[in-house]
Amino acid sequence: MPDKKLGLYIHIPFCMKKCLYCDFCSGVYGPEIRKDYVKALTNELRYQSERLYDYSVASIYIGGGTPTWLEEKLMDRVIKTVFKYYNVEPAAEITMEMNPATASESQLFSYHTLGVNRLSIGLQSSNEEELRTLGRVHSFKDFLRSFEAARRSGFDNISVDIMTGIPGQNPLSLKKTLSDVFLMKPEHISCYSLIIEEGTPFHDMYGEDDEKRKRGEPQEFLPSEDEEYELGKTAQNMIKAAGFSQYEISNYAKLGKACLHNVGYWKRTPYLGVGISAASLIDEIRYTNTRDINEYIRKGISSNFPLYNEAEALSEKKRMEEFMFLGLRMTEGILENDFYETFGVLLDSVYMLPVERLLSEKLLKRDRGRLFLTELGADLSNYALSMFLLDKD
C-alpha cells in the first residue's frame, strides 16, 4: 500500500423528497438521470484513480443526498468501481449515509458484504410532529426498523444525526428524542442546530423570524437564541452523560468510534470528492466540481475531464487559517509543534494576538504545546474561530 493517505467522498445527490430545510446539492430525479449519473460518476472515479495511483484510501464516505435511495445495482457498481481502481486499505472506514425510509434489509446486507462498515442514519427527531415540520419522509418507527435491520445485516458502527432548534421543539421533546436514540445504543451521534438557509422553503416560512431572532427581537416560531443555546446544552450534557465523548463541536462517539473520514477533513489530510458539487484537496489545491447535474452527466459520460469548475491553489495564509479553525473544531485541538512542522514558523509569530486574547477570555486553553477551545470557547466557536482569519476584509 502506498504511504500517502487519501479520504474519498462520493456524492449521491438523489432524495425521495426534498426536506424543507435542506440546501444540500440534492433533489428528486428519475431513473434515467440516476443511471446516467452513475455512469458519469464511475468514469470520474476511474479518471481520478489514474492521477492518484500513489495514494492509499484510508476512508470512504458515500454521502448525499440519500445514497440508500439509489438502486442497489447502481450502488453496487459504484462500490465495485472504487475497489477495482483504488488502493483501499483493508481496515478502511467505509461510511454510507442513510435515510430511514429508504433501505431494505437485503440492500443493507449486500452493502455490508461489499465492504461498507459504517452507517450514518439521519433521524433528526423521534417526535412525529417535528419530523413532519422538517418535511422528512420517514417516521420514528421507520428509524427503529432500519436501525434493527442494519444491526442484523452486520453493522457494528452506526451514527445517528439529531437536530436542535426545530420549530416547535422544546427541552422535553429533545430529551425524549435523545432517550429514544440511546435505547438503540448507537456508536456515534452527530448533533447540529437547524440553520435557516436561503433558497429553502424554510427560508420562506421562517426567514423573517430568523432575522428577528438575530436582532434579539421576539420571534414567533423558532426558538430564541437563548432557548436554542439551552437546547444545545441539554443535548450536549445528555449525550456526554450517556457515555459518548465529544471529539468535535457537533460530534460524539463511543471509545474508538470517532468518524475517521471527518477527522481527516479537520486534520487537512488530502481528500478526493467525486460527483456534483464535491470538493477535493490534493497537493494544497482545492477543486470543486460543477453543481449542474446535466453538465456533470454530459461531460462525465463522454469522459470530457476534468469535471471541476473551480481550482484554487491555497495560499499559505489560507492554509494557516484552515489549520487553525478546522483543527480547533476538535476537542483535542492542535499541536503548536505541528503548526511549526507544517509551515516552518512558530504559531506565536503568526497568531500571538488572537491566542493571547482568547486565552484571557477563557475561550482557549494551552497545555503542553497543545491549544484547544474551552467549553465556553466551543459554545462561542463562531466568534473564537473567526479570530484566526488573517484577511478579515
Residues that bind ligand SF4 (CB under 6 A): 15, 18-19, 22, 24, 26, 64-66, 99, 122
Closest approach, Cβ 181 to ligand SF4, in A, equals 18
In the complex, what is the shortest distance from the CB of residue 63 to ligand SF4, in angstroms, rounded to a whole number?
9
Nearer to ligand SF4, 21 or 323 (CB): 21
Q: Count of alpha carbons within 13 Å of 364, Cβ hemisphere only?
A: 27
Which residue's CB is nearer to ligand SF4, number 64 or number 300?
64
Instruction: Mention every residue, 6+ apart, whose C-beta is less than 8 A from residue 97.
Output: 61, 62, 63, 64, 65, 66, 67, 68, 119, 120, 121, 122
Q: Which lies closer to ligand SF4 via its Cβ, residue 34 or residue 254?
A: 34
Q: How far is the CB of 24 from ligand SF4 (least distance, A)?
A: 4
Q: Which is nearer to ligand SF4, 43 or 190 (CB)?
A: 190
Sheet with strand 334-335: strands edge to edge: 334-335, 370-373, 364-367
Minimum CB–partner distance for residue 23 and ligand SF4 (Å) = 8
Burial 61-86 (b: 16+ CB within 10 A, else e): bbbbbbbbbbeeebbbbbbebbeebb
Least separation in angstroms between CB 330 and ligand SF4: 25
Q: How far is the CB of 278 from ligand SF4 (least distance, A)?
A: 14
For every residue of 8-63, DSSP letters joined together read EEEEE-B-SS--TT--SS-B---HHHHHHHHHHHHHHHHHHHHHTTTEEEEEEEEE
Least separation in angstroms between CB 265 and ligand SF4 = 18
User: What is the Cα gyration radius of the chain?
Assistant: 21
Say how far apart CA 74 and CA 38 lie, in whole Å: 7
Determine phi and psi for 154, rounding to 5 degrees.
Answer: 110, 0
Please state, as a whole number, how many other Cβ atoms lie within 10 Å of the Cβ of residue 25.
Answer: 18
Q: Give the nearer residue to ligand SF4 in terms of CB position, either 101 or 274.
A: 101
Q: Which is nearer to ligand SF4, 66 or 159 (CB)?
A: 66
Q: Closest Cα partner for 134 from 178, 223, 196?
A: 196
Residue nearer to ligand SF4 on the CB measure, 143 or 325? 143
CB closer to ligand SF4 out of 137 and 272: 137
Min separation Cβ 347 and ligand SF4, Å: 37
Give helix 31-51 / helix 72-85 axis angle, nearest 10°.
10
CB of 390 to ligand SF4, least distance (A): 33
Instruction: Give the residue ranges of DSSP H helices in the chain.
Output: 31-51, 72-85, 105-114, 128-134, 140-152, 171-184, 201-214, 225-241, 260-266, 293-301, 316-327, 336-343, 347-360, 375-379, 381-386
User: Which residue, 19 or 116, is less far from ligand SF4 as judged by CB?
Assistant: 19
